[in-house]
Amino acid sequence: MIEHRLDVARIRAITIDLDDTLWPVWPTIERAEQALRAWLDAHAPAAAALARDANTARRARQQTLARYPDRTHDLGHVRREAIRQLLAWSGEPTHLAEPAFDVFLAERQRVTLFDDALPALTRLGARYPLVALSNGNADVYRVGLGEHFHAAVSAAQVGVGKPDARIFLAGAQAAGADNAAVLHIGDDAHLDGAGGLAAGMQVAWINRRDEPWPPAIEGSPHAMTGELLALCDLLGV
């Protein structure tokens, strides 16, 4: 499954998504949540019990989103304040939200790369400036991939997340290129695909699950591959 209508000669820089593009995200999140619960067991056991109840944890998150409608793009803030809500409900010190979140965030940086990720980053980075572009709170420098990136741009920094065009334009600016000269690479058809297209970029959809392109999205990706190395071949790197 490879589709290609890239204007390779026009590309001067690349923005690339992280979660589910370079590594599977949910195993990472599950490990981070386990580390968080273990820390709460030791320091705030009543809150730990609440965190283990899916409905209560979901209610804490929903209340956080409602309380901070201007911070919904900042997943770290949402996570930390949801922990604080659980601590408040349990009657335990709410200042423990900060060290608890730090435990979660540290484990969040322990990722298991897809087999094609590192060789693809090496090949792409040898030709183009690469900018990490993510709605999440993984940090390419803490993950250990910083040497491959020219810069990193997150929703928390910009104030909006994908598919908002402004985060894509911030990525292009960080790369030192006009948005029309940037290729965005990502796995999510809506967040990465529709967002990148709306921002005037070329888009490469890494479709590891061989899914159909959603017909509701206006336009289509300039390239679609099942893995990153095939895209490298299309780009001639």
**Which tens digits make up the pLDDT trace of 27-50?**
999 999 999 999 999 999 999 999
Task: Indicate whether 45 and 77 sit together in one domain.
Answer: yes
- Any residues with CB less than 8 A from the CB of 15 and at least 6 apart, and which? 130, 131, 132, 133, 153, 168, 171, 172, 175, 182, 183, 184, 185, 196, 201
Instruction: Quote the CA–CA distance of 197 and 163 in Å, as a whole number.
Output: 9
Task: Indicate whether 31 and 123 sit together in one domain.
Answer: no
pLDDT reading at 83 higher than 90: yes
Domain that holds residue 207: 3-23+113-235
Average pLDDT of every residue of the chain: 96
Task: Indicate whether 164 and 230 sit together in one domain.
Answer: yes
pLDDT reading at 1 higher than 70: no
Instruction: Answer whether 0.85 is exceeded by the pTM.
Output: yes
45: how many CB neighbours lie within 10 A of its CB? 12
pLDDT, tens digit, for every residue of 162-210?
Answer: 999 999 999 999 999 999 999 999 999 999 999 999 999 999 999 999 9
Task: Indicate whether 79 and 143 sit together in one domain.
Answer: no
Task: Indicate whether 222 and 171 sit together in one domain.
Answer: yes
In the three-class reduction of DSSP (H, G, I as helix; E, B as strand; rest coil), residue 224 is classed as: strand
Among the residues of 52-154, which ranges form H helices?
54-67, 75-90, 97-108, 117-127, 140-143
CATH of the domain at 219: 3.40.50.1000
User: What confidence tier does 9 reach under pLDDT thresholds 50, 70, 90?
Assistant: very high
Task: Indicate whether 17 and 134 sit together in one domain.
Answer: yes
Chain centroid to CA 222:
21
Task: Indicate whether 130 and 40 sit together in one domain.
Answer: no
Task: Indicate whether 49 and 150 sit together in one domain.
Answer: no
